[in-house]
Structure 1
Amino acid sequence: MNLPAARPLDVFVIAGEESGDILGAGLMRALDGRWNGPLAFRGVGGHRMIGEGLRSLYPMDDLTAMGFAAVIAKLPTILKRMKQTVEAIVANPPDVLVLVDAQDFNRRVAGRVRKRLPHLPIVKYVAPTVWAWRPGRARKMYGTIDHVLALLPFEPEVMRRLGGPATTYVGHPLLSEIPELQPTADDLAVRNGARPTILVLPGSRRMELSRLSASFGAALGLLKARGQEFDLVLPTLPRLETMVREATRGWPVQPAIVTGEEAKLAAFRRARVAFAASGTVTLELALAGVPLVAGYRVSDWEAQLAKRFIVGRFATLPNIILDGPFVPELIQHDCTPDKLVDALAPLIADGPARQAQLEGFARLDALMSTGGVPPSERAAAAVLAVLAARG
């Protein structure tokens, strides 16, 4: 979609964590390619968005907090940044406001901006997980958000049913990785060899590592004690390598720790099975055709609080999209070494447990298809359509 522009299109984008920085940068690139004229980007983002030309008001890390305890500890900074963000938007209104992830922060920003700038187009990139917990959030968005860009194919219907804003499925960014996740003949030889490669992905945040690494490590020790030989690989980010090495120092089986995107993708192509923290990585493994067991733990008080709000049947994205229990989910007190290894062992051999996961994973490509158009391009087209509709 090419629209004439007499002056730079002023786009205000807010991202609150690394995944949002990736989405925001992709959207910025796609808008730059579609808009027939100059653009100006400002808001809040990380190094990827800054690299695409964003002028960030403050470091994106100021908004990053996972879990109730972390949010409470960081609340003064978050509230300060929220006020600063709203004032920047109101003082110099952009042509469009795009809110990426950071659900609670951006919901409050949207509400405050809407009261003061009722005609400003506001787009939410990444639908809130109303299908999993706090479904009332969908209806509360109506009237505040003009349009939602969804990463998962079932989300537009969920938002409609719950009374939320108009929603368009644009596709998950992992779809662009599928060609790099497809194993070559050499990769398949490793994946199907006599000595399997096991991936272990205990999370990318300190709290996840501290709560999952001991259980994952002990489970791998039990697997070896049962006579299963294997190679163990742990992909991580370069900035987390020191923390990961410390967290795995006492494991009975030491992993080969690899860093960087290229090494991670190579490990995914060759892996036979995986242990993974419940999160986006479970979908990445499924798209790579790697059977897995998902685990997750939070503090007991966080778990009790979450029970009051959770409505979804499943915790992992493959199960949610496929609407079935394909991936074993061992959450909280079920995430024990014994249960983890009992769930993983049947996935190594070519038996019914492994085949059931692989058959489910084979359906994901069709369910998540974007018709060959990259998700970022679909997102940019949707943003420009909102702009055109609002005049």
Structure 2
Amino acid sequence: MSRPLKVMLVAAEASGDALGAGLAGALKARLGPKVTFVGVGGPRMAEQGVRSPFDIAELSILGWIEGLKAYGLVKRRVSDTVALAVAEKPDAVVLIDSWGFTIRVAKALKTALPGVPLIKYVGPQVWASRLGRAKTLAASVDHLLALYAFDAPWFEREGLPTTVVGSQALHVDFGEADPAAWRALRGIATDARLLLVLPGSRPSEIRLMTPVYEAAIAQLKAADPALEVAVVAAGTVADDVTGRVAGWPFRAHLVAEREKYAAMRAATVALATSGTVSTELALAGAPMVIAYRFQPLSYAIMKPFFTGKYATLFNHAADSEIAPELIQNDATPEKLAAAVGRLLADPEARRVQAERQTAALELMGREGRDPSEIAAEAILRVIAGHTS
């Protein structure tokens, strides 16, 4: 009897941890005991049997300046990851999202384990910035699992075989998300206007965005004291968010990760830090305003590399600013309060925006198969191709 297939999964932040766990589950469903896992990940992947040699929370870094400050740590963790791969000798390595970390691992593994197929799961958003990363990735890995059809051409023209698997965010199950029950549990009246704030899942996002959101909400509360406010505390930054919100001079309901989908459906309007959460909010039917801030020096360095018109995926897919985007110098309390206030005050504007968001999701491939299953099939094809 041949030994079980050994797949190494590497994820460096919460979103990648979720993707890795879904992929591991899909491979187990197909192969049962004929597949084992090693790698780097968080609590979701640990449930699937991936024992990480270090806590990935320390790698949740965004921005060039932040990256430079953490360079020594990242370099050590890349070495740790490569050492694990060399010791375990997997049949394939899947590098999930987290461009800065995983591209370093990929380059090191090309030398350390030249015969092992390297698969990148989620490519860099080269349509938005730094087109050159497509060529870099093509030289560093053997296959790409892309989330959206509009991603693939950028990499295929560089000679990188690409499989479009779809986004897990488009397959969120809202079946058990009961907005009425959630409001009742929190003592929020059914006709009360509710602003749901989603400050992010990275420490840098919480540090930069929560003060801006606090000031914007203070303006909204001054205009409408009855406005209800809820804040999602993502698992990786829950303690940080909880501590900051506790100091706000107005009441805000804290929302745990497990109840965020019910809160999304219960929201009148959402105010969200740019990221995958915008897709989830669109699925929930919540009209939203999107904001983002980088550390100023990081933004000054990065700005010349931004080539896309929009930061939000469904805006990009529709080639239209369906959800207002307020980025960097536009992400002020005054502008955020004005944009959110317009939606709160206008039911028809909310209805139209929610409908346009839903239509844009169709352009992103909402009706496709489960992405984890497609990704599992693609990985097995790549392994079989290398074996033969």
* TM-score (structure 2 length as normaliser): 0.89
1:220 pairs with 2:181 = no
Aligned-partner residue type, residue 345 of structure 1:
G
Rounded to whole Å, the distance in 2 between the matches of 1:89 and 1:187 is 45
Distance apart, 1:127 and its partner CA: 1.1
Rounded to whole Å, the distance in 2 between the matches of 1:208 and 1:64 is 10
Q: Kindly indicate whether the alpha-carbon contact (under 8 Å) linking 1:178 and 1:288 is maintained by their aligned counterparts in 2.
A: no
1:146 pairs with 2:138 = no
Q: Kindly indicate whether the alpha-carbon contact (under 8 Å) linking 2:119 and 2:141 is maintained by their aligned counterparts in 1.
A: yes
Aligned-partner residue type, residue 290 of structure 1:
A
Distance apart, 1:57 and its partner CA: 3.2
Aligned to 2:126: 130
- For this pair of structures, how many residues does the alignment match? 385
Q: What aligned pairs does 1:122-271 form with structure 2 within 5 A after superposition?
A: 122-161=118-157, 163=158, 165-180=160-175, 194-227=191-224, 229-237=226-234, 240-261=237-258, 263-271=259-267
Aligned-partner residue type, residue 55 of structure 2:
P
Q: What aligned pairs does 1:43-122 form with structure 2 within 5 A after superposition?
A: 43-122=39-118
Distance apart, 1:28 and its partner CA: 0.8
Distance apart, 1:253 and its partner CA: 3.1
Rounded to whole Å, the distance in 1 between the matches of 2:87 and 2:325 is 47
Q: Kindly indicate whether the alpha-carbon contact (under 8 Å) linking 1:45 and 1:54 is maintained by their aligned counterparts in 2.
A: yes
Q: Kindly tell me: are residues 119 and 52 of structure 1, through their superposed partners in 2, closer, same or farther at Cα, counting changes over 3 Å?
A: same
Aligned to 2:369: 373
Aligned to 1:6: 2
SS of equivalent residue, structure 1 residue 248: helix
Q: Kindly indicate whether the alpha-carbon contact (under 8 Å) linking 2:7 and 2:35 is maintained by their aligned counterparts in 1.
A: yes
Which region of structure 1 is more displaced relative to structure 2, 271-280 or 103-112?
103-112
Rounded to whole Å, the distance in 1 between the matches of 2:75 and 2:179 is 49
SS of equivalent residue, structure 2 residue 305: coil
Which region of structure 1 is more displaced relative to structure 2, 350-359 or 271-280?
350-359
Distance apart, 1:240 and its partner CA: 4.1
Which region of structure 1 is more displaced relative to structure 2, 276-285 or 89-98?
89-98
* Alignment gaps of 5+ in structure 1: none
Q: Kindly indicate whether the alpha-carbon contact (under 8 Å) linking 2:200 and 2:206 is maintained by their aligned counterparts in 1.
A: yes
TM-superposition CA deviations, 1:342-391 (whole Å, max 9, x none): 11122124455324422221214422336552111111011011112222
TM-superposition CA deviations, 1:154-176 (whole Å, max 9, x none): 21133234x25122121212233
Distance apart, 1:183 and its partner CA: 6.1
SS of equivalent residue, structure 1 residue 330: strand
Q: Kindly indicate whether the alpha-carbon contact (under 8 Å) linking 2:192 and 2:228 is maintained by their aligned counterparts in 1.
A: yes
1:322 pairs with 2:325 = no
TM-superposition CA deviations, 1:16-36 (whole Å, max 9, x none): 111111111111111111126
* TM-score (structure 1 length as normaliser): 0.89
Rounded to whole Å, the distance in 1 between the matches of 2:55 and 2:181 is 43
Q: Kindly tell me: are residues 119 and 73 of structure 1, through their superposed partners in 2, closer, same or farther at Cα, counting changes over 3 Å?
A: same
Distance apart, 1:229 and its partner CA: 3.3
1:306 pairs with 2:293 = no
Q: Kindly tell me: are residues 210 and 110 of structure 1, through their superposed partners in 2, closer, same or farther at Cα, counting changes over 3 Å?
A: closer
Q: Kindly indicate whether the alpha-carbon contact (under 8 Å) linking 1:7 and 1:37 is maintained by their aligned counterparts in 2.
A: no
Which region of structure 1 is more displaced relative to structure 2, 96-105 or 192-201?
192-201
Aligned to 1:291: 287
Q: Kindly indicate whether the alpha-carbon contact (under 8 Å) linking 1:273 and 1:290 is maintained by their aligned counterparts in 2.
A: yes
Rounded to whole Å, the distance in 2 between the matches of 1:289 and 1:181 is 15
* Alignment gaps of 5+ in structure 2: none
Q: Kindly tell me: are residues 104 and 229 of structure 1, through their superposed partners in 2, closer, same or farther at Cα, counting changes over 3 Å?
A: same
Which region of structure 1 is more displaced relative to structure 2, 19-28 or 109-118?
109-118
Rounded to whole Å, the distance in 2 between the matches of 1:113 and 1:205 is 27
Match of 2:36 among 36, 40, 43: 40
Q: Kindly indicate whether the alpha-carbon contact (under 8 Å) linking 2:14 and 2:201 is maintained by their aligned counterparts in 1.
A: no
Rounded to whole Å, the distance in 1 between the matches of 2:176 and 2:337 is 25
Rounded to whole Å, the distance in 2 between the matches of 1:36 and 1:249 is 46
SS of equivalent residue, structure 2 residue 282: helix
SS of equivalent residue, structure 1 residue 56: coil
Q: Kindly indicate whether the alpha-carbon contact (under 8 Å) linking 2:92 and 2:383 is maintained by their aligned counterparts in 1.
A: yes
Aligned to 2:338: 342
